[in-house]
Structure formats: structure tokens, C-alpha cells
Amino acid sequence: MSSITTELPAMDATRFQHTPYYCEENVYLLCKTLCENGVADATGSDLFVVFISNEKKQVPLWHQKASSRADGIVLWDYHVICVQRKKESDSEPLVWDLDSTLPFPSPLASYVTETIQPSFQLFAEYQRFFRIVHAPLFFKYFASDRRHMKEPDGSWTAQPPPYQPIVAQDGILHNLSEYIAMSGADTLSSLDPDTVRVAISQKLGVVVSHTQLQDLFIKLP
């Protein structure tokens, strides 16, 4: 299997817009930049936005820059990454995670091993679920007015990005909660190609477990 990383210029994560604790907006702009600079298809057809969360809103991820621990573990309420899968290539999918200390980008298999650590035994309430949304649909429908980052008195829990909030093409101002809401009951019962094709064409994409994640990217049309 050839490696897509050999086809790409060396990437420095600091070249991309990044505001701590606003990972959904960071990934939105990351995908846009990858489309604009030719690393990805101009329409984003080879990009997928992946939300990671669960019912408890406590998901452990390793090798995170925000961690003060040697193993880099952070217990996020949710996290967002980009996965690139070239349709007409046997190259392994790539993960673009601006908050990770791993190579940027990283092959999906190694990212799962190092960041998700599926062999690590977790209590059921900490299991991670993944909502995969096709980037063209994300560009069209996603919106965030950053209300989730405000205290009851209106102050910010973390300084917001310097640019204006993202508004959906239909004028919706905020729907982030729809993307991060996920549980085991939402996961696909089957990864047969027809089921995956229909699910990934939806606004909110498809939800899978960590055991289904890599297989899903194999089955994508």
C-alpha cells in the first residue's frame, strides 16, 4: 500500500487557524484551507469531519496538546477531527487533528491506535462514538454562534476566535448540539455499502463505534 503522505508537502499545524477549545470551527477552516491549497479536492469530496463524543460528554483521548500528562490524555466533552480519504487511491486515510501531538497528518490506523487506544479497557460510559459527516454537507449546514462557550452571565469560558461565527447556508445560526449528540443507540447496525452510502449522504452523517471506524472508511463510496 502506498502512503499518501509521500504525495503531500510537509504540513505544519501552526499554519492553520487554531483557537483553543473551538475545535469544530478549527476543523471547518482546516477543511476549507485543504480544499483551497490543493491538498484536498476543491469541493471537499475526499474530506470527512468526525465528531467524537458520547452520552456522558466525557471522552478520553491520548496525545493531546492540551494535556499536562506524559501520555497526553485529555477527557474532552467532545472533539472534532478531519479524515481525508482519496476515492481513487489505495492510500490509507489520513487524520488531520490540530490538537494532537502526533504527526500532522497521521495515518488513520496509527491515529486510532495511539489516540483512541481501543485496547485500553474503559468503563462503558466512557466509550467513544464517532459522527462522520461529509465535508461538502458540513460546509453547507453547520452553524455555531458559540453559545455553548458562554457562562450564564454572558462571559466567555474561553476566548472566541477573532472572525465572525459560522452561519449555515440556510441561515441557521446554531446547530452544534445536533452534531455532538450521539450514543450507542445511534450507531449503524450494518456497514454494508448501501447502508453506508445512504447514511453518509445525510446532513448529520453517520454514527459508528470505535470498532467500526476504520471499516467505515473502507466501505465509503
Task: Give the active site residues.
Answer: 23, 79, 97
pLDDT for 3 = 41
**Cβ distance 181 to 205 under 8 Å?**
no
Cα-Cα-Cα-Cα torsion 200, 103, 63, 16, nearest 10 degrees, comes to -70
| Residue 10: predicted pLDDT | 56
For the segment 154-179, the average pLDDT, to the nearest whole number, is 97
Rounded distance between C-alpha atoms, residue 196 and residue 188, angstroms? 8
Gyration radius of the chain's alpha carbons: 17
d(CA 64, CA 52): 14
Question: Which grid cell is 49?
Answer: 469531519
Q: Could you report the per-residue pLDDT of 77-107, keeping only the tens digit for each?
A: 999 999 999 877 778 999 999 999 999 999 9
Is the entire prediction scored with pTM above 0.75? Answer: yes
What is the residue extent of each domain of the chain?
Answer: 18-219
Of the options 3.10.620.10, 2.40.30.10, 2.40.260.10, 3.40.640.10, the CATH number for the domain spanning 18-219: 3.10.620.10
